[in-house]
Amino acid sequence: MTQPEVLDQNIRALQEWLRNAWVQLSDPAMTTLSRRELRSQMKQCSADLRAHLQAASARSGGPTAMPARTFEKPELRLLAWR
C-alpha cells in the first residue's frame, strides 16, 4: 500500500471514529465522567484528523483553485449633457 493510500485510509478511519463518538455522546446512559473522557478523546482525534488532512493537502499541492482575480481601478469617463 502506498503512502497516499495509507493517509486516505487513516483519514476515513478518523472520520468514522468521530461520527461514532458523536452518536455515543448522545447516549443518555453515559455518566458525566464518561462524557468528559469521550470529549477529550474527540478533541485529540479532531487534531489528528486536521493534521492528516493538512498532510493530504500538502501532498496534492493544495486545492487547485482558479487564479485570484485582481481588481483594478476602472477607467471612468464623465459625460457632460448640454
Q: How far apart are CA 46 and CA 12, in angstroms?
A: 12
Burial label, 26 (beta-carbon count in 10 A; 0-12, 13-18, 19+): exposed
State pLDDT tens for residues 12-38.
999 999 999 999 999 999 999 999 999
CA 56, 69, 55: angle at the middle one, nearest 5?
10
Domain ranges of the chain: 3-59
Burial label, 18 (beta-carbon count in 10 A; 0-12, 13-18, 19+): middle
Q: How would residue 62 be classed by pLDDT, with cut points 50, 70 and 90?
A: low
Mean pLDDT of 39-50: 96
Task: Please give the pLDDT value at position 51.
Answer: 94
3-state secondary structure at position 32: helix
